[in-house]
Copies of this chain bind each other. A is one copy, B any other.
Amino acid sequence: MAAPSDFINYIDANADKFIHRLADAVAIPSVSSEAARRPEVVRMAHWLNDQLKALGVETRLVDLGTHVMDGEELPLPPAVLGKIGDDKAKKTVLIYGHFDVQPANKSDGWDTDPFTLTVHPTNGQLIGRGSTDDKGPILGWLNVLQYHAEHKKPLPVNIKFCFEGMEESGSEGLDELVEREAKPGGWFDGVDCVCISDNYWLNTRTPALTYGLRGIAYFKATIAGPARDLHSGVYGRMIHEPMTDLVLLMSKLVDPQGNILVPGVEDMVPAPDDAERAIYHKLDYSIQDIEETAGAPITVSSDKVEVLMNRMRHPSLSLHGIEGAFYGPGGKTVIPAKVSGKFSIRLVPPQTPEAVEKLVEKYLKDEFAKLGSKNKFTLDPVHGGKPWLADFNHWNFDAAKKATKHIYQQDPDLTREGGSIPVTLTFAESLGVNVLLLPMGRGDDGAHSTNEKLDRSNFIQGSKLLGAYLYELGAVGK
């Protein structure tokens, strides 16, 4: 069933009020990765909890204990669980979002104060930290709830909420919570499907549904040589220099065209057939789109399908940097004693961190042995996460497709993301149900960057889309 026009009109009529509420949320600097701002994340949890209760949602603040960050033991912000509706005849959808944000300082290069939501005078963009990641989408759900609360209308589905405050800092404590509450009698017992609104359209034009995420295997390759940093004048060419060994090893991981040189890693992934290539061909995306957002004409191919497959269905290997070497401006003549190369491989099914780690370790050990260096080599996996793929022919996706068509009068792009949202897989595996990613914002929102924004139309039309999705879900029937 399509969302009632009364609901659609209500969202339009109350748009300014909704933007005002988003400003209240953005004003709380809930940066989870800064110890000094941890109390603000807790404040944000209570703010959200109060909003949900006021809209008729039964809630629970769940203490997730403590963790150690930068050597300091800190309390984790509570997770906010919610439930509304208990009609056995209706489907039950679990909605996830996060109320913590990335760090932001005006001095990073923001044009406006990052924690003051600023409406752009001409294009209407809502600029502020968390506007699109992920306070905007969370507040989209509140907007939907508000219509039903004010009009005392029952929702078309039962809803469970799971909101966390540590997403930008590794979702500490969340996996355990989800696994616990997924069990019979738990908060999430009886959930039929999951919807997460925490990613973005491919471009700035076409709504998207997302059915896949790449996993990741992050590595730290360390070469240790002398007991301390040495002077290159005194020791240059007398000893095996750790940087020489490390740079040589790192150069053997990936070529300039992006091909992964670790034997076996590419081979794990089956080649695409014509049907799969057709999916990518259909996407509303161009080489020009990439060049515009990257800011330079540096795509590895001029074929859009190749480039999109490289992002969505192929693994990728990026060299991030070197810890322990000279990194400042100017010219320091140091031989660094111990250097660690950081690199990561984005994974696609059927790759797993464990399988890829084994290949990387064997390869780098063999390559290091060939160097004839007396330094010491070690490889540490830093973190890992499996890739995720959902069935986009499921009724959960069908509901979202219909809702998109209703609100935007166009079919959504069906996308896979190059990045990772680890909790997606936790929900899929713990609950054993279909998970849908339903993005609200655009590809140029700059989620982790300066001047993060959410377009006004994406917030308002997006709120309608979330409601419309619930109505289409309700229409599927139990």
List A residues at the B interface (Cβ < 8 Å): 214, 216, 218, 220, 225-241, 243-245, 247-248, 250-251, 254-258, 290, 294-300, 307, 310-311, 314-323, 325-337, 342, 344, 346, 371-375, 382-383, 417-420, 447-450
Contacts and interface: CB of A to CB of B under 8 A. Distances in A.
Contacts of A237: 258, 300, 310-311, 314-317, 346, 418
19 contacts: A218-B333, A228-B295, A232-B344, A233-B346, A234-B417, A234-B418, A236-B258, A237-B314, A237-B317, A237-B418, A238-B307, A256-B373, A257-B372, A298-B374, A319-B325, A320-B336, A321-B334, A322-B322, A333-B344
Instruction: Tell which of A234, A257, A316, A375 has the most Cβ of chain B within 10 Å.
Output: A234
A321 B325 contact: yes
A329 B342 CA distance: 9
Nearest to A235: B294
A328 B320 CA distance: 10
A256 B250 contact: no
Contact of A299 (B231, B238, B318): B238
The 7 residue pairs across chains A and B that have the minimum distance between CB atoms: A227-B295, A233-B419, A321-B326, A236-B316, A321-B325, A237-B316, A251-B251
Given A238-B307, A323-B328, 19 more contacts: A214-B233, A220-B331, A226-B298, A232-B344, A232-B419, A234-B419, A235-B294, A236-B310, A236-B346, A239-B299, A240-B256, A241-B256, A241-B318, A243-B319, A248-B255, A250-B251, A298-B375, A321-B327, A332-B342
A209 to B, nearest CB: 17
A372 B220 CA distance: 27
Q: Which of A243, A326, A372 has the most CB of B within 10 A?
A: A243
Contacts of A234: 311, 417-419
How many copies of this chain are found per oligomer? 2
A247 B239 contact: no
Contacts of A331: 218, 220, 320, 342, 344, 382-383
A220 B227 CA distance: 27
| Most chain B CB within a 10 A radius of its CB, from A244, A315, A448 | A244
A296 B371 contact: no
Nearest to A335: B318
Contacts of A251: 247-248, 250-251
Interface-centre pick from A218, A250, A294, A326 (highest chain B CB count, 10 A) = A294
A448 B375 CA distance: 23
Contacts of A448: 231
B235 A311 contact: yes
Given A254-B244, A299-B239, A318 B232 contact: yes
A318 B372 contact: no
Nearest to A340: B329
A255 B249 CA distance: 11
Nearest to A315: B237
B419 A231 contact: yes
Give the most central of A248, A295, A321, A344: most B CB within 10 Å: A321
Contacts of A258: 236-238, 240-241, 244
B296 A225 contact: yes
A329 B323 contact: yes
Contact of A243 (B315, B318, B332): B318
Contacts of A220: 331
A382 B329 CA distance: 10
Contacts of A383: 331
Contact of A298 (B225, B321, B449): B225
A321 B320 CA distance: 13
B228 A298 contact: no
